Amino acid sequence: MSERTSAGRPVALVTGGSRGIGRAVCDALAPTHALLVGGRDEAAVDRVVEELRAKGAQAHPFVVELTDDDSTAAAVEALAPSLEDGLDVLVHSAGVARTGALAELTREDWAHQYDVNVVAVADLTRRLLPALRAAGGTVVAINSGSGHRSGPGGGSYSASKFALRALTDALREEERGRVRVVSIHPGRVDTDMQVELQSAHGRGYVAEDHLSAASVAEAVRYAVLAPAEAMVEELTIRPVRTEVSGERATTKG
């Protein structure tokens, strides 16, 4: 972790920071970091920023459409004055999940999933690498258990997460000694995305069968706050109930 601080605190940018795991990461880092809350919905981002500030956190909006080159370029350019001393943490939490058999998914389904889950991550990281290097910063990619294994209906999503793991593996070695690169692989997490995924598979949903977003955020915080000579390269975190019970898995709803 870099010792450099901005306004007394290191700076952390969290994409997908207005909901789910990204929002939980913002909460987890708020006591120690100045936050840049990323998202494409300006109203949602502003609401999170206001809530964080009400709790005494240093928080600012980072509104961007990460799949749009011009939007990303403009957003990063606008950040430049506040990152003169560098960026300490970049957490990639924004992502999408489109499931379905190969026979069902279109070219657009595949392209959009790769654009959000892989290309946008690579592009934003590239643009912010000078600031990350200046701070001796840490890049954290929220991957998935699907970044290690796949199954029926999950080929497209898993392929994007396998690709994200390949990206972080390469970046880690390219930047070793300058920027730390962490890959976090949660199991099922209690988020809106997970509700949609289970519904798509015709399964009932029981929150207690899943990790909380806060638990994943604590894993991110652990990696970010590791001593400067240490790097958490890859971390898997799964719910104690590693599989949804057969009865629940077949429940329609």
For the domain that residue 158 is a member of, what is the CATH number? 3.40.50.720
Whether 6 is in a domain gets the answer no
Active site residues: 157
Q: Note whether residue 2 is domain-resident.
A: no
* The predicted structure's pLDDT at residue 3: 46
Domain that holds residue 15: 11-249
Task: Specify the pLDDT at position 188.
Answer: 83
Tell me the three-class secondary structure of the chain, residue by residue: CCCCCECCECEEEECCCCCHHHHHHHHHHCCCCEEEEEECCHHHHHHHHHHHHHCCCCEEEEECCCCCHHHHHHHHHHHHHHHCCCCCEEEECCCCCCCCCCCCCCHHHHHHHHHHHHHHHHHHHHHHHHHHHHHCCEEEEECCHHHCCCCCCCHHHHHHHHHHHHHHHHHHHHCCCCCEEEEEEECCECCHHHHHHHHHCCCCCCHHHCECHHHHHHHHHHHHCCCCCCCCCEEEECCCCCCCCHHHHCCCC
For residue 53, name the pLDDT band (cuts at 50, 70, 90): very high
pLDDT in tens, 19-51: 999 999 999 999 999 999 999 999 999 999 999
Supply the pLDDT for residue 211. Answer: 87
Q: What per-residue confidence (pLDDT) applies to 5? A: 44
Structurally, how many domains does the chain consist of?
Answer: 1
- Please check whether residue 138 lies inside any domain of the structure: yes
Residue-wise pLDDT tens digits, 155-214 = 999 999 999 999 999 999 999 999 999 999 998 866 555 555 555 555 555 656 668 889
pTM of model > 0.75: yes
Q: Is residue 95 part of a domain?
A: yes
